[in-house]
Amino acid sequence: MMLTESNLQLKIPNEAEIHSLYWWKYIEEKQLAKQWNGPYIPEEFVDEKTYSQIWQEEIEAGIPAAAAIVINGKAVGYTGAYWVDRNTDWLEGGIVLYDPDYWNGGYGSTAFRLWIDYLFSSMSIHRIGLSTWSGNTRMIRVAEKMGFIEEARIREARLWKGKRYDAIKMGVLRQEWEG
């Protein structure tokens, strides 16, 4: 699996790219991406071997659960998906761009569009959802650009730095994506 557009690739990462993603997720000191990507959820630290093994998980035969975002040969983030309900063909997806040098350049939108298109074209799923919070205005804008619709807002369900935020559920149906 490799999807390419311009200088951006979505791909199953090699060991060097997994090492880079591990560094961004667990070692890099500033951790700026974590201010946007669910900062209210405590994240369990895993060693690099375990992290590498996680990349071997699959949603379904031949379909990866995640893809590295590689820009100009540098692993800077990933897209992922997981089953919410196999019986109703419902996946939930998301994206993280760790490297702030690639924020605000359209890379996240491009990567997320490629990922969602890949999931719909590779699987017989009916819907893809995403969960975020009202403080993550970047993810909300990207999702809206992709045609995702806000389906639920759980008021003041997230607490971050002493302030309450809404939990946001968004989704897109196959017929909306293909239309």
User: How confident is the model over 54-74, as pLDDT tens digits?
Assistant: 887 765 657 788 999 999 999
Domains along the sequence of the chain with CATH? 2-178 (3.40.630.30)
Cα→Cα distances 160→51, 76, 83, 89, 95, Å? 26, 25, 27, 32, 20
Residue (of 137, 173, 166) closest to 152 by Cα position: 166
The pLDDT assigned to 59 comes to: 57
* Torsion angle in degrees (nearest 10) through CA of 164, 166, 167, 172: -160
CB proximity list for 24: less than 8 A, separation 6 or greater: 33, 75, 76, 77, 98, 99
- pTM score: 0.91
Residue-level pLDDT, tens digit, the chain, 179 residues: 688 899 999 999 999 999 999 999 999 888 888 887 777 778 889 999 999 888 877 656 577 889 999 999 999 999 999 999 999 999 999 999 999 999 999 999 999 999 999 999 999 999 999 999 999 999 999 999 999 999 999 999 999 889 999 999 999 999 999 98
Give the number of C-alpha atoms closer than 13 A to the C-alpha of residue 39, restricted to the C-beta side.
Answer: 16
Residues 6+ apart with CB under 8 A from 145: 109
Locate 89 and state its tokens.
């063909």
